[in-house]
Amino acid sequence: MNINLPKDVNYIIDTLESNGYEAFAVGGCVRDTLLSKTPMDWDITTNALAEDIIRIFPHTIPTGIKHGTITVMLDSNPYEVTTYRIDGEYTDNRHPDKVIFTNSLTKDLSRRDFTINAMAYNYKSGLQDPFNGQLDLKQNTIKCVGAANLRFKEDALRMLRAVRFSTQLEFSIEQNTFEAIKANNLLIKNVSQERIQVELGKILVSNKPSNGILALQETHLLQHIIPELTQCVGFEQHNPHHDKDVFIHTMMVLDNTPKNLPLRLAALFHDIAKPKCFSIDDKGIGHFYMHHIEGSVIAENILKRLKFDNHTIEKVCILIKEHMSGKQPMKPTAVKKLITRVGIDNIEDLFALQIADIKGGKTSDDTSAVIKLKEKVHEILEKELPLTVKDLAVNGSDLINIGYKKGKEIGIVLNKLLDVVLENPELNTSEQLLEFAKQLH
């Protein structure tokens, strides 16, 4: 089998071989090429030691010299070149205590996580596949190299990677590998929140993210990563608008949102407070008053714990807090206030979340309320009416000039002036707004 290697990768392999060493493209780039996907990057493995790689190539960076990894720079493009190695013990369930360099490609491949990632290739030797990764690719299977229990005890992140790969590639996890994840689920506590966040993000932007979240639940990883979400599993809603429990409804909403990480996070957490906010009336109907408000608080805590950036956290919380907005007809002023609260950049994502929420309910075809709200928003935006404090004809300095003191009061007054302008856009002149401000003062 021939794999079309990029020119730079061939150059690195040929250069190492002309200096008396072996070299192969290895890992994910080989897997992706066999799947007819374009690799994100190309890694190379060799029996040349780090000092040999540095000697042979003029432009290198010692990115991981302790573990035999050198970055070779070709026209400002980086390529990681790593010496064949055998890993020592993993006493922290994440990193080998030491590495031992070897001359054997097979030994190097034997330390890797999954068979589909344990293949290597160059033009001269062809595909090197000692653990039948190509067969597992054809059978759409995620399977550990060697004993799955040992692989996961070495590096607990591999459990999450197994779920991520199965979700991204739409593969099944081989039974022994799946059972080993269940048996070792507690070890995920040894993985940093940053690494968990990265894998979770990749799961959520897959074609069908619910497959990944369901796998996390079935392997018991979810109870360590997002324990708050497990409260939704099997939680019946006792509501005429819902014929599914909160968790299954959430999975449907998740799959019905576009591939956008903040939006998918909002979908995952939009009903997370329902178990906490549940009440049942004398007719046996369940209610979840204020679950959108409480849900934004819970989501913020989860996202902070998982080390998401502030921009993502803010957007997700806004979408959750507002996902119930517009259920009833809204007057133009209320629509303007909604745009102001949500933000123009987030408003389309809010509509996408609301439509997905409806599709996850009992009557999944009536999205007319959202469509009408969307039309009203577009109509307002087309008119370019003032919607935020920044759009006002006056600012804080103007208020100070008429006698206001610096401080919180400035912001309070500007927001009161905004309320006036949202009701009557024609009043957005400095003369009229300053007159209002004087009366307030």
Query: How do residues 319-336 score in pLDDT, each as one tens digit?
Result: 999 999 988 888 999 999
Structure tokens at 62: 């010692």
Q: CATH fold of 7-130, please?
A: Beta Polymerase; domain 2 (3.30.460)
pLDDT computed for residue 54 by the predictor: 96
Overall average pLDDT of the 222-234 stretch: 97
pLDDT on residue 2: 78
Q: Return the CATH number of 140-225, one of 3.40.50.12780, 1.10.110.30, 3.40.50.2300, 2.115.10.20.
A: 1.10.110.30
How confident is the prediction for the chain on average, in pLDDT? Answer: 94
For residue 213 the two structure tokens come to 């979240």
Domain definitions of the chain by residue range: 7-130, 140-225, 229-385, 389-440
Helix ranges (H only) for 156-286 are 157-169, 175-183, 193-204, 209-218, 222-225, 227-230, 246-255, 261-269, 274-277
Helix (H) or strand (E) holding 52, with range, is: helix 50-56
pLDDT tens column, 2-21: 788 999 999 999 999 999 99
Q: Give the CB-side neighbour count of residue 125, counting CA atoms within 13 A.
A: 16
Pairing of strands 172-173, 141-142: parallel
- Summarize pLDDT for 59-104 with one digit per residue, the tens: 999 998 888 999 999 998 999 999 999 887 777 676 767 789 999 9
- The Cα–Cα gap between 184 and 170 comes to 23
Q: Among the ranges 42-46, 235-239, 406-410, 419-423, which has the highest mean pLDDT value?
A: 42-46
Task: Of 236, 219, 97, give the one whose Cα is nearest residue 154.
Answer: 97
When pLDDT is averaged across residues 343-368 and rounded to a whole number, the result is 90
Q: What is the CATH T-level fold of the domain 229-385, as seen in this structure? A: Hypothetical protein af1432 (1.10.3210)
